[in-house]
């Protein structure tokens, strides 16, 4: 018997929804059935009812594009930003979608489409995706940072997402790196997210420019353009000293964050993902350098690697399908 099972993954992002089908043989993940056929739809600034319908349409299309019917799908997983109640499958409050509060999304989608569904934190899902089909395929313990507007975190131990007692584990972006430091959106001070996310990297650049620092970024800034982390990366690459300093600061804080995550979960691999990780080697090599410089040289110091994510923006969708396979697979 080599009959496959199929799992539908749905990634509910800030502005789009993506859906795709993952094929599995028993617990072994074989491939992404519709890798070339991922279905995407806009969800930005839409009402909750519209978004729900778009998710349903996306899911149906992904199944069709994979050459399957909904009855072929064993289970579905939805990756969503927090705050969510993973166990109950409920979106507690959506920062992006109007009127979504205490929405039992897993139940609604299961009723609309048929297969049973689970909900998972988007960064947890991305980590699970990288663990099984991306950068982490040969490791037992892996941590991942998703560097975007914030910093999402995920930890996978022996193939299982670390959920903690209430589903709030691996909020790695909210590890406090600087006592009484920069204010974070979460209300704490000094969180990693307040220093090393894409948004905070851009914000630190803007602050330096406001202080009158010279930089090739000044022109963009004076022209009223909203600076992005990509601007900082681009100008650092072109040799701008301030941009390089800001990016190096991001790398320094990511290294401290990595050391703290290593102290708790002792991973073999830490993966940098999300938009800012597209900076590539200029970021990765700097994080590695600071990680080595700031870390202890005792046992195990050299047993934690650091790599870039490889699944890009499909990690969450793939991981959601895998999470469904783990929770509801047969």
Determine how many CB atoms are found less than 10 A away from the CB of residue 225.
11
Distance between CA atoms of residues 193 and 182, nearest Å:
9
Of 114, 159, 280, 300, the one binding a second copy (CB under 8 A) is 300
271 scored as a contact of a second copy (CB under 8 A): no
Scan residues 65-84 and list those touching a second copy (CB under 8 A). 82-83
Among the listed residues 67, 114, 164, 312, the single contact to a second copy using CB under 8 A: 164
Task: Establish if 216 lies at the interface with a second copy (CB under 8 A).
Answer: no
Regarding beta strands 90-93 and 28-32, do their DSSP bridges make them parallel or antiparallel, or are they unpaired?
A: unpaired
Among 64, 110, 268, 284, binds a second copy (CB under 8 A): 268
Q: Does 155 bind a second copy (CB under 8 A)?
A: yes
Q: How far is the CB of 298 from a second copy (least distance, A)?
A: 6
Q: Is 102 in the site for a second copy (CB under 8 A)?
A: no
The Cα–Cα gap between 95 and 81 comes to 9
Helices (H), the chain: 48-65, 105-113, 122-133, 193-196, 198-210, 218-222, 229-237, 241-265, 281-294, 315-328
Hunting for tokens 């990690």 — which residue is that? Answer: 315
Measured from the Cβ of residue 111, the count of other Cβ atoms closer than 10 Å reads 10
* 3-state class (DSSP) for residue 179: coil
Q: Which of 4, 107, 163, 213 binds a second copy (CB under 8 A)?
A: 163
DSSP state, residue 312:
G
Query: Phi-psi category of 61—alpha, beta or left, where left has phi over 0 and alpha has psi -120 to 50?
Result: alpha
Q: Is 104 in the site for a second copy (CB under 8 A)?
A: no
Q: Is 169 in the site for a second copy (CB under 8 A)?
A: yes
Give me the least distance between CB of 169 and a second copy, in Å please. 4
> Using the rule CB under 8 A, is 14 a contact of a second copy?
no
Judged by CB under 8 A, does residue 138 bind a second copy?
A: no
Does residue 122 bind a second copy (CB under 8 A)? Answer: no
H or E segment and range at residue 213: none
* Beta carbons of 157 and 167 less than 8 angstroms apart: no
Q: Between 179 and 224, whose beta carbon lies closer to a second copy?
A: 179
* Rounded CA Rg of the chain: 20
The footprint of a second copy on residues 189-208 (CB under 8 A) is 189
Least separation in angstroms between residue 322's CB and a second copy is 20
Q: How far is the CB of 223 from a second copy (least distance, A)?
A: 34
Instruction: Write out the residues near a second copy by the rule CB under 8 A.
Output: 82-83, 92, 139-141, 153, 155, 157, 162-172, 174-179, 184, 186-189, 252-253, 256, 259-268, 294-300, 303
């Amino acid at each position: 018997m080599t009959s496959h099972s199929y799992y539908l993954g749905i990634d509910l992002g800030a502005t789009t929804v993506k859906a795709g089908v993952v094929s599995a043989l028993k617990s072994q993940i074989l491939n992404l059935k519709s890798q070339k056929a991922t279905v995407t739809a806009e969800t930005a600034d839409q009402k909750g009812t519209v978004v729900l319908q778009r998710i349903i349409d996306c899911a149906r299309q992904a199944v069709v594009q994979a050459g399957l019917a909904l009855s072929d799908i064993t289970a579905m997983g939805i990756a969503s930003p927090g705050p969510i109640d993973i166990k109950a499958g409920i979106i507690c409050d959506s920062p992006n979608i109007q009127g979504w509060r205490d929405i039992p999304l897993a139940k609604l989608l299961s009723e609309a489409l048929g297969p049973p569904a689970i909900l998972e934190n988007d960064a947890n899902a991305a980590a699970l995706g990288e663990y099984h089909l991306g950068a982490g395929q040969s490791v037992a313990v892996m941590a991942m940072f998703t560097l975007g507007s914030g910093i999402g975190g995920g930890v996978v131990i022996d193939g299982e997402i670390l959920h903690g007692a209430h589903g709030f584990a691996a909020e790695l972006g909210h590890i406090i790196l600087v006592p009484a430091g920069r204010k974070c959106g979460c209300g704490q001070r000094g969180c990693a997210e307040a220093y090393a996310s894409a948004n905070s990297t851009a914000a630190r650049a803007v602050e330096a420019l406001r202080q009158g620092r010279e930089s090739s970024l000044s022109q963009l800034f004076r022209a009223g353009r909203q600076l992005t982390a990509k601007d900082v990366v681009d100008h650092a690459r072109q040799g701008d000293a301030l941009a390089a300093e800001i990016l190096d600061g991001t790398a320094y804080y990511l290294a401290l964050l990595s050391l703290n995550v290593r102290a708790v979960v002792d991973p073999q691999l830490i993966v940098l993902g999300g938009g800012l990780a597209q900076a590539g080697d200029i970021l990765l090599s700097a994080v590695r350098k600071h990680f080595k410089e700031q870390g202890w040289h005792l046992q195990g110091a050299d047993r934690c690697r650091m790599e870039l994510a490889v699944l890009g923006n499909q990690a969450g969708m793939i991981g959601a399908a895998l999470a469904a396979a783990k929770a509801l697979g047969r």
